[in-house]
Structure 1
């Protein structure tokens, strides 16, 4: 794990910018409000079964200086919460507690190093699915302080519970897989640079190649570059488009225009430069290629292998870097000479990032396939802290907005009902939220 001193040094100046907007008090060595020893949770006992409401389950214990205990108030439901039990994946043990994002209040802190205080309203983003203490489907949840986001007063807990996982996935897809630098957006992170300041052995071995070799420095996405998002109505697309626009990228969204076209066209935060109907995937590819004329090198798919394959067909690899096209003498005033033929190291690859499934075929020449290294958020403190503190600033300054809430269910016992609605495809273009208390 990256050293604590490193990620604290990276983030402390940024945190100071929020002091006037956040509810803060002086920290104690340890703070706790009265919490029960037992709680109510939802347990999964076997695949393809509903979650079971269970009383008298132990309240999870805080360990170490970097953990806090949060009282759950609102839970954002995600597709993984029904797909994992239905298809029997991502379940490391049984019985299992699921749930990846929630909002609530801090009820316990464990050490002097925590930047969080009792009573803080927070968003908890739990990408660590192997630690059941951090799962959302329970009344009390343990969270790492660098995976916890303090909320501005104007943002409701219900709204906050919709955006955590989508934000992390979007920021990592853009910042790591595409190399987008967010330094000019409220002093956001340059994840490409930050990853190279972390010791390579502190990066999980299974994502190290993606983190360090996924994209070359001269290929990084820059303001003015085009990004196509296939499945533009999802919550992950909602955050991806917003962050891409803040970074100066031009965006294409491929969506079911009959269902979502008007909403996207009228929504200032997620209005794209080009909106394409997904009804006929071949025609969608033709529209993108004819409008962008070989300028599309970056694509993010949010739906699955089939749509990722279509998006692959819309990409245009093999362009030259802008620097390689500048004739000698064009800058200093001397007569220009023809540019030299660039070697392969200066060619720009196309980059396809899949959130749910890559094409079944191998990546063609000139194209790189990416999967989002989501575990960076909880396993590398420098990355988790950089993203959490940046999200605090974005929310405090109103620079991004949460996805729309389609409906709110009441109580932990209603989670199964909500997941059934998602299974049936009733939830589209926004999030379903469960209000716990």
Structure 2
């Protein structure tokens, strides 16, 4: 895949002054060289370390600044960090922690301090969004003052987007784009030359795709079943950040959207919001009534559903999908509607069948029903690791997001509040545990 990143570089020729004549360096050239030169970087930094499950993160000084190793790696100084539910659920439920002590954090906005190789589109002092989906590499975790990132997982921010705004949308964007583009087959090529991920992933040698996501990538949905403009998509848990970006991208692709939310909390905001206003807004308070409303309005036209909450709500959403005769278990209690299932990984996708009959497709961001997919339906999990393991995918997504942000076609999620300093992250995560942050993002300003 090295050839994919081969880019044209312009070599600057320096003239050496002699006794006969001294060559003056133009002021513009001096400014350009200064802009591209590395910024001073300390040897040590302050980080947050998790030493054991069910404990708070510990503020730790004199921790080594991570070192850049590969040709596509850059070093970024942290300015603002977006907090995600996984950051408190992982230690509380003791999962997704590959080693201890551990550094967490999945997205930040900051400034490139070490100039990458000449082939990279990035340069020192670029304002960027870093999207860290590779949770096993602690150099890329965002709860630290300096972070290593792949250039193909790094988004240049336009002047219109502040660091706080930039830190809110990275992981949600990746999850939304892969759910729509890979699991549903949506083609974004008509939206600022966005990626056709369904086609792109099939051009990659199968052995380069991780075994646990290969089936979803290559066999998850057949070509004739791909979602197209005019198709309906229902999102259960429509107030989450991932739902926010999913709705925005789905609308850009011409899909019609349904959001199932707590209307008392989020109904007015979603109904009046330009970017995330849906075609149908359904109250989640009574799950059976929500299913009935969707069925009566769509009349068998709903084939695609995305659940952002967990196993129970995914089971509920399955009953709203067509074919309408799907055999599904009874609905879970309403009390389970707001709680994601975090103690077990999502179920694997169902084995595709050869029938030309259009199927219902259910995508679980945090869980899927316990039972196997019934006849006429397929289950999907989002292959997140494509973003950092396959450079072609990561590069296509971040450069598309750069264009979307520059043109104002994607808006950052609402910022609920801003905390200050790495030491305030524990306080912020406690607020998330208590359910105080809903319908937007909590951000921590670091520098």
Same fold, TM exceeding 0.5? yes
Structure 2 residues not aligned, in runs of 5+: 10-30, 326-352
Greater mean alpha carbon deviation, residues 343-352 or residues 362-371? 343-352
CA distance in 1, matches of 2:2, 2:205: 13
Change over 3 Å in CA distance of 1:7–1:376 after alignment to 2? farther
Q: 8 Å contact 1:27–1:112 — kept in the other structure?
A: no
Aligned-residue offset at 1:360: 1.1
Q: CA deviation at 1:317?
A: 2.9
> Residue by residue, what CA displacement relative to the aligned partner does 1:143-184 show, whole Å, maximum 9, x if unpaired?
000000000001100000000000000000000000000000
Q: Displacement of 1:5 after TM fit?
A: 1.6
Deviation at 1:8, TM superposition (A): 5.5
Rounded to whole Å, the distance in 1 between the matches of 2:320 and 2:52 is 41
Structure 1 gap ranges (5+): 13-24, 320-342
Residue 123 of structure 2 is aligned to residue 135 of structure 1 = no
Change (3 A) 1:87 1:62: same
Q: Determine which of 75, 78, 88 is the counterpart of 2:84.
A: 78
The 5 Å alignment of 1:65-144 reads: 65-144=71-150
Quick check: 1:318–1:349 contact (8 Å CA) kept in 2?
Answer: no
Residue aligned with 2:62, SS? strand
Question: What residue number does 2:365 align with?
Answer: 355
**Distance 1:359-1:258 versus aligned 2 partners, 3 A rule:** same
| 3-state DSSP of counterpart to 2:304 | strand
Is residue 4 of structure 2 the alignment partner of residue 6 of structure 1? Answer: yes
Structure 2 residue 378 is matched with structure 1 residue 368: yes
Whether 1:346 and 2:356 are equivalent positions in the alignment is yes
CA contact (8 A) 2:115 2:122 kept: yes
Query: Where has structure 1 moved over 2 Å in runs of 4 or more?
Result: 6-9, 25-28
Cα displacement (A) at 1:27: 8.4
Give the drift of 1:424.
0.4
Q: Is the 8 A contact 2:421 2:444 kept in 1?
A: yes
Query: Paired residues, what number?
Result: 398
TM-score (norm 2): 0.87
Give the Å deviation of 1:344: 6.2
Secondary structure at the residue paired with 1:206?
Answer: helix
| 1:435 matched to 2:433 | no
In structure 2, what is the equivalent of residue 55 of structure 1? 61
Match in the other structure for 2:315: 309
Partner of 1:279 in structure 2? 285
Aligned to 1:418: 428
Contact 2:116 2:122 in 1 (8 A): no
**1:207 partner SS:** helix
- Verify the 8 A CA contact 1:62 1:110 in the aligned structure 2: no
What is the CA distance between 1:245 and its match in structure 2? 0.3
Q: Give RMSD over aligned pairs.
A: 1.8
Counterpart in 1 of 2:188? 182
**What is the distance in 2 between the residues matched to 1:237 and 1:44?**
29
Corresponding position of 1:192: 198
Looking at structure 2, the residues matched to 27 and 92 of structure 1 have their Cα atoms a distance apart, in angstroms, of 41
- CA separation in 2, counterparts of 1:7 and 1:212? 24
1:422 is displaced (CA, Å) by 0.3
Cα distance, 1:65 vs structure 2: 1.5
Please say if residues 108 and 129 of structure 2, whose CA atoms lie closer than 8 Å, have aligned partners that are also in contact.
yes
Kept after mapping to 1: 8 A contact 2:5/2:119: no
Give the deviation of 1:6 after TM superposition.
2.7
The CA distance in 2 between the partners of 1:346 and 1:141, in whole Å, is 48
